[in-house]
Structure 1
Amino acid sequence: MTEKDPADLELIRKTTRELARKFDLEYWREKDAKHEYPWEFVKAFADGGWLGAMIPEEYGGLGLGLVESAVMLHEIGYSGAGASGASAVHFYIFPPGPIIRHGSEAMKREFLPQIAKGELLMCFGVTEPTAGVDTSRISTRATKTDGGWVINGQKVWITNAQNAKKILLLARTSPRSDEKPMDGMTLFFTDLNRERITVREIDKLGRSAIDSNELFIDNLEVRDDEVVGEVGKGFSYLLDGLNPERIVVAMEQIGLGRAALDEAVKYANSRVVFDRPIGKNQAVAHPLADSWIRLQAAEQIAMKAAELYDAKQPCGPEANAAKFLGSEAGFQACDRAMQTLGGYSYAKEYYVERFWRESRLLKVAPVSQEMVLNYISTKILGLPKSY
């Protein structure tokens, strides 16, 4: 593998940490409470060029690798921005991946510079309410017309759709077959036409600054030149982005867990009960120490996975293990912060309740912990498939 220069990584860590921490915990508390998109935060990262981290330089990006992007998103999570801040940047970096690797030259030149500058917000339309994790059974269909397609269907849990101008949309262009269930799906990069797409926001538990939505698609007309890559190969293009997304989700969760751990340690040192700081009690100290260890271990596997990806080596086992460990360690640290603060953990002025709400999501998204275990069971251990 090509070694990353530690000095370069430290510079990225320091620069993005300083930038993210200009937005304090109160900023994120207010955005969460008001359900307001963090445009000021996005603009700050756009002005620094960071939204184009993985976009090649010829299309206006920085041309960096996954290692550098993972470091940046960790620092965003760790700053206290949590999942809301990480998602606001994450969705400029990874949904464009299929366009970078498989889009036409005209598509790349028109849209990638806009994404890198923060001028174009897109959303990712894959998940459906009746398909769940079995993407082969999506029911959204694209019917061929003269010079284009007409799409009808429904999507759910679509991030950014309240504000997005474009959508990367997965639809079936030929019937599902049991022999090759993942074939016959096509990716379209097209306008989020609100005359043909009804967007309904979902009221949810956490990450409230970033909208999640249901989409109802009614006779959406799409041109042939809005197809990404080849017709029928859309799912294979999505696979190119699954490993890197799992890696950065792990790093975001690790950062979020560390933010919660810092708050818990600060409270444990200052809160005095029975004439002693509560951090002097092993029942408080040991769980926090255990969380520190688990976060360190999760970061090691996540960074190994990122290095493998950048070196163009197989990284499926490591990427899935990173997502599993990062989600577990991050949520556990947040949960232990709640326990440490006791009754005050419910008070929003202490912030850890937001960390806890946001960290719970990543145990079920973008892939559940159980599906990670299924992958390891069958692909690594060679056990018979259970689903």
Structure 2
Amino acid sequence: MDFAETDEHRDLRDAVGRVAAPYGGDYYVDHARRGAECTELWHALGDAGYVGVSVPEAYGGGGGGLVELSLVCEETAAAGAPMLLLLVTHAISAAVIAEYGTEEQRKDWLPGLASGREKVVFAITEPDAGSNTHKLATTARREGEEWVVSGEKYYISGVDDAEALLLVARTGRDDRGHAQLSLFIVPTDAPGLQKIPLPVDVLLPEKQFTLRFDDVRLPASALVGDENQGFRQVFHGLNPERITGAALCVGIARYALGRAARYANDREVWDRPIGTHQGVAHPLAKAKIETELAALMTQKAAWLHDQGLPAGEASNMAKYAAAEAAIAACDAAMQTHGGNGVAQEFGLLPYWGLARLLRIAPVNREMILNYVAQHSLGLPRSY
């Protein structure tokens, strides 16, 4: 067993950190408060080849895997600028198009995704379906040579900053009455598509939307992969989304702990740094341990996926552990800062909010516990 990172991966970490460092926490927090996309950083990462690190080389990408994409997610977050849309545009959309798209779809979309000049976000969530994908109500029906989409999606990130979305829609039912799903590439300016802002109190650069499809007409070429095989194709992207979400959380935790450690060394009360007190030091040390454990599981999950090995258990565990670690690290960092933990000057609260969101999305901790109980422990299914 060898737990040492390769020279290439260490170099990748360093290079991504150097690109992200000039932007950092002040840049990110300013954009989060204004609800403005971090376009300059996204383009800088794209120009350096890191946004498209996992896109096949034949389409302008780096030809790496999920291990490399996870490192990019982690290091940008560790620099203070977590890029949420890397999860949906690359861990899901680019990966699904590369695996299941036609050659025409790959040529149309992957070069732009690799360069960072285009984004394809992901639309699966619905208000009445929750985690039950079989209950998706948005439909796509054939009319001649076209598909006609009707329905509603909920909590879709970054639609205003994307050229298209990868849509999951119901195209039939099987013999048991379960939904049969298909995937479609839908331009965000398609006639009949309404994009309604969904206000949230979490401070994020990325905006959330409700989408309404009022008989949106798509050409036959919009179908990705095989008709009615979308359930299997979607799950090709869900494990990577969870893994990159875990990597983002690890990076957030590292950033928060770095800020807290500096403050605990510099802040003096009663003529000594507050970090000398175990009441301050121990919560930070505990959070550091939890962060390192989460990082190990995240790396394992990414490696399993890239090796073509079963990665569902590790992906879920990584996402669970990393979200918990990020919340604990942000909370400990804010507590270390005392009243300054919620002061705008110190800019910690947006990271706590994002970590708290990632405890829910892209899959909530309760569904992960259900998965582990059923698949890892062999307990009866609870839902």
Whether the TM-score (by the shorter chain) exceeds 0.5 is yes
Task: Give yes or no for contact 1:249–1:323 (8 Å, CA) kept in 2.
Answer: yes
Structure 1 residue 148: deviation in Å? 1.4
The corresponding residue for 1:286 is 282
Mapping 1:306-321, distance limit 5 Å: 306-321=302-317
Equivalence for 2:90: 93
Percent sequence identity is 34
| 3-state SS of paired residue (1:81) | coil
Aligned twin of 1:219:
215
Distance 1:189 1:10, change over 3 A: same
Shift of 1:75: 0.3
**Aligned-partner Cα distance in 2 for 1:270–1:347:** 17
Backbone CA RMSD of aligned residues: 1.7
Q: What amino acid sits opposite 1:356 in the alignment?
A: W
CA contact (8 A) 2:85 2:157 kept: no
Structure 2 gap ranges (5+): none
Contact persistence 1:143–1:149 (CA under 8 A) = yes
CA contact 1:331–1:356 (8 Å) conserved in 2: yes
CA distance in 2, matches of 1:350, 1:267: 10
The answer for the alignment partner of 2:16 in structure 1 is 16
Tell me, which stretches of 5 or more residues in structure 1 are unaligned?
none
Q: How does 1:1-387 map to 2 (within 5 A)?
A: 6-82=6-82, 86-94=83-91, 95-175=93-173, 179=176, 181=178, 183-387=179-383
- 1:113, 1:249 → 2: CA distance? 23
Q: Distance in 2 between matches of 1:88 and 1:235?
A: 22
Q: CA deviation at 1:285?
A: 0.7
Against the structure 1 CA distance between its residues 2 and 191, is the aligned structure 2 distance closer, same or farther, given a 3 Å change threshold? Answer: farther
Secondary structure, aligned partner of 1:93: helix
For the residues of structure 2 that align with 1:317 and 1:376, how far apart are their CA atoms? 7
The 2-side partners of 1:240 and 1:227 are apart by: 16
How many pairs were matched up?
A: 382
Cα shift at 1:205: 2.5
Any idea what the Cα deviations from partners look like across 1:131-180, whole Å, max 9, x if unmatched?
A: 11111101111121000111110001111111222111111111366x36
Cα deviation digits, residues 22-71 of structure 1 (max 9, x gap): 20322112101211111111110111122221111111111101111111
Q: Distance in 2 between matches of 1:4 and 1:224?
A: 48
**Structure 1 residues 2 and 149 mapped into 2: Cα distance closer, same or farther (>3 Å)?**
farther
Are the counterparts in 1 of residues 85 and 121 from structure 2 also a CA contact under 8 Å?
no
Deviations 1:51-104 (A, max 9, x none): 22111111111110111111111101100113xxx2143333122221111111
Question: In structure 1, what is the Cα distance between the partners aligned to 2:239 and 2:2?
Answer: 19
Code of the residue aligned with 1:93 in structure 2: it is: H
**Which sits farther off after the overlay, 253-262 or 92-101?**
92-101
TM-score normalised per structure 1: 0.95
> Displacement, 1:194?
4.9
- Describe the SS at the equivalent of 2:107: helix
Give, in angstroms, the shift of residue 301 of structure 1.
1.1
Contact 1:54 1:64 in 2 (8 A): yes
